[in-house]
């Protein structure tokens, strides 16, 4: 079985390396030279372009930045994945993109008789390195079962979210909630500190009370409370403000296209937009604690 892997960025490269470690034959392609060389050094075949990577592949995996890259890579008339994938190939897009975009590409794939799933991930670069990603899969259950041996080599939790696009919907719902929880947690901690409380003591109390949440318990945004959290290393590493902003943009877009009310999601998007405009786009998203709106 030949596998093509396209998009060797912060996430894609460690995911591809895990497939190689598991013994799969991989053809890799990225626009950038450095990750391509790393994949080749680990045993991958280095493809000259998308068409070269997917020709003859039984499974095609993509991990690209955003909707426009995914639509370009799959739909381009001459050099795209759909134009060159072999009959019966299975297509797996792991990028985080708009649900509507995922549906559009999957429909175009279906018109050519190709099965496709949207399989965005949660778990960040650490999860990608440790093969412990969570996959949220949209598409036919049968296509997910075909993809499972590949997903299991890159992740530890695999959920069937529903029809095509539902993987992306699950991902944007989760990240919208995470963005809101981080802002709320930061606000509560700052309120406590302003009123004379020790943030570690306040965090401990809220972690055993009804304000308990992931941002507070595992990713505390106040420096010094949690040594392993990005807040305690100058908000370096972790999940960047600009990535959160992108996901909140997808959430708001998905809400508008179906007339769903997400006022807190919109407010969170505005806050991360402000942080990005203030030059903090590369910092971890928990830096909302350090740069509140005045």
Would strands 59-62 and 45-46 be described as parallel, antiparallel, or unpaired?
A: unpaired
Q: To the nearest whole angstrom, how small is the minimum distance from the Cβ of residue 9 to ligand NAD?
A: 2
Is 21 an active-site residue?
Answer: no
Identify which of 184, 180, 135, 181 has the alpha carbon closest to the alpha carbon of residue 155.
Answer: 135
Of 124, 184, 211, 249, the residue at the interface with ligand NAD (CB under 6 A) is 124
Q: Which of 19, 63, 81, 202 binds ligand NAD (CB under 6 A)?
A: 63
Stretch 3-22 residues interacting with ligand NAD (CB under 6 A): 6-12
**CB closer to ligand NAD out of 106 and 243:** 243
Q: Which stretch binds ligand NAD (CB under 6 A): 121-129, 134-142, 179-187, 262-270?
A: 121-129
Closest distance to ligand NAD from the beta carbon of 129 (Å): 11
**Helices 241-257 and 99-111 sit at what angle, rounded to 10 degrees?**
70
Ramachandran bin of 56, using left for φ above 0, alpha for ψ from -120 to 50, beta for the remaining angles: left
DSSP three-state, residue 200: helix
Q: Binding to ligand NAD by residue 243, rule CB under 6 A? A: yes
DSSP state of 278: I
Q: Does 30 bind ligand NAD (CB under 6 A)?
A: yes
Is position 283 an interface residue for ligand NAD (rule: CB under 6 A)? no
Site for ligand NAD contains 281 (CB under 6 A):
no
Measured between alpha carbons, how far is 251 from 262 in angstroms, rounded to an integer? 8
Q: Report in angstroms how near the CB of residue 50 gets to ligand NAD at its nearest.
A: 6
Contact flag: residue 73 with ligand NAD (CB under 6 A): yes
Q: At what angle do helices 12-21 and 33-41 cross, to 10 degrees?
A: 10
Return the residues of window 175-194 that contact ligand NAD according to CB under 6 A: none
71 lines the binding site for ligand NAD (CB under 6 A): no
- Smallest distance, ligand NAD to C-beta of residue 205, A: 30
- With H, G, I as helix, E, B as strand and everything else as coil, classify residue 155: strand
Pair type for strands 115-118 and 121-122: unpaired
- Angle (nearest 5°) at CA 255 between 187 and 137: 95
- Is 121 a binder of ligand NAD (CB under 6 A)? yes
Residue 42, SS3?
A: coil
The catalytic residue among 86, 153, 171, 208 is 171
CA distances from 73 to 43, 95, 238 (A): 24, 12, 27
CB of 77 within 8 A of CB of 108?
Answer: no
Which of 5, 29, 74, 219 binds ligand NAD (CB under 6 A)? It is: 29
- Contacts of residue 47, defined as CB under 8 A and 6 or more positions apart, other chains included, come to 4, 27, 28, 29, 53
Is residue 134 a contact residue for ligand NAD (CB under 6 A)?
Answer: no
d(CA 98, CA 169): 8
95 interacts with ligand NAD by CB under 6 A: yes
Question: Nearer Cβ to ligand NAD, position 98 or 144?
Answer: 98
Which residue in 3, 18, 96, 164 binds ligand NAD (CB under 6 A)? Answer: 96
Catalytic positions: 171
- Binding residues for ligand NAD, rule: CB under 6 A, are 6-12, 29-32, 35, 50, 63-66, 69, 72-73, 95-96, 121, 124-125, 239, 243
């Amino acid at each position: 079985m030949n596998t093509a892997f396209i998009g060797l960025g912060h996430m894609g490269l460690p995911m591809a390396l895990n497939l190689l470690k598991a013994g799969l034959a991989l053809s890799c392609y990225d626009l950038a030279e450095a990750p391509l060389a790393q994949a080749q050094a680990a045993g991958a075949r280095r493809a000259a372009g998308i068409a070269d990577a997917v020709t003859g592949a039984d499974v095609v995996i993509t991990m690209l930045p955003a909707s426009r890259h995914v639509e370009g890579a799959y739909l381009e008339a001459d050099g795209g994945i759909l134009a060159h994938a072999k009959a019966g190939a299975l297509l797996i897009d792991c990028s985080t993109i708009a649900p509507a975009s995922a549906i559009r590409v999957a429909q175009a794939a279906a018109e050519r008789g190709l099965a496709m799933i949207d399989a965005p991930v949660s778990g960040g670069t650490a999860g990608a390195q440790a093969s412990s990603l969570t996959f949220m899969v949209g598409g036919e259950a049968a296509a997910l079962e075909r993809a499972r041996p590949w997903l299991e080599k890159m992740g530890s939790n695999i959920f069937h979210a529903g029809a095509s696009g539902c993987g992306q919907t699950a991902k944007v719902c989760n990240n919208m909630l995470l963005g809101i929880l981080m802002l709320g947690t930061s606000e509560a901690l700052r309120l406590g500190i302003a009123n004379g409380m020790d943030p570690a003591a306040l965090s401990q109390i809220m972690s055993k009370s009804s304000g308990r949440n992931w941002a507070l318990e595992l990713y505390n945004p106040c420096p010094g409370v949690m040594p392993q959290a990005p807040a305690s290393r100058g908000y370096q590493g972790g999940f960047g403000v600009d990535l959160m902003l992108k996901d909140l943009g997808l959430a708001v877009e998905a809400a508008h296209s179906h007339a769903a009310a997400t006022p807190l999601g919109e407010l969170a998007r505005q806050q991360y937009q402000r942080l990005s405009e203030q030059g903090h786009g590369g910092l971890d998203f928990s830096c909302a604690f350090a740069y509140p709106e005045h």
